[in-house]
Structure 1
């Protein structure tokens, strides 16, 4: 696949995503993305662009309290972080690790921004078990074949056959009823 074809795919994907997310600025720090309110907390080196954020945004990011966007090689990268009050909080993705992320994972001196999600969407967990409609579950058990060894099989016998150039193979034949071995 050549670069021109890859660029065509990227352009097609951007055209498809253009109508998905709409950015609306309310003032310098507050904005909405598809009606969902956000606040710009920090901007470094003019890293914030609402239109570019709308192009790269995904619904999965609405579960995070803070979203960091950093620029590298003219590409916007987004990563979410949880507040300690969020039920999905884990220390690796906590607000305290934003600074570590910027120093360790981002390009040195890159432009970035931090936005706060004013209305966090916490996904509901699906309960699997007794409550709710039961979905059909298919359980498959594998059985080991319990065949006796080749010498102990009653109606079969093995025979070596030369296949050429010092190779051998075994052929299993069905015994005739009257023959014994």
Structure 2
């Protein structure tokens, strides 16, 4: 269980000890609240975050292979309190 400034998350995977709480807190924005899963990966020393929902959770391995540097450090978090995006009224 990870407690961050942005809520509680379960660590699904932490490949090569990628997770750094300070980096996550600095980069995370409210936009990611709607996602059930957050993938964080490091490219050239910079953290990138990408959100996934339950429907596309199974595409995370493809994202890691196709969009991340080979053998890069990455992690997968499960958001314990995803918030649905408010629709336009």
Q: TM-score range by the shorter chain?
A: over 0.9
Other-structure match for 1:109 = 71
Gaps of 5+ in 2: none
Between Structure 1 and Structure 2, whose CA radius of gyration is higher?
1
With structure 2 as the length reference, what TM-score do the two structures score? 0.94
Q: CA–CA distance in 2 between the matches of 1:100 and 1:41?
A: 16
Q: Which of residues 31, 34, 50 is equivalent to 1:63?
A: 34
Q: Deviations over 1:142-174 (max 9, x none)?
A: xxxxxxxxxxxxxxxxxxxxxxxxxxxxxxxxx
Write 1 or 2 for the structure with the bigger share of strand: 2
Contact 2:38 2:51 in 1 (8 A): yes
Unpaired stretches in structure 1, ≥5 consecutive residues: 1-29, 85-93, 128-181
Match of 2:58 among 96, 101, 108: 96
3-state SS of 2:54 partner: coil
Partner SS, residue 69 of structure 2: coil
- Aligned counterparts, 1:1-181, within 5 A: 30-34=1-5, 36-84=7-55, 94-127=56-89
Residue 81 of structure 1: CA displacement?
Answer: 0.3
Higher helix share: 2
2:4 & 2:49 partners in 1: Cα distance?
15
Aligned to 1:26: none
Distance 1:62 1:125 in 2: 14
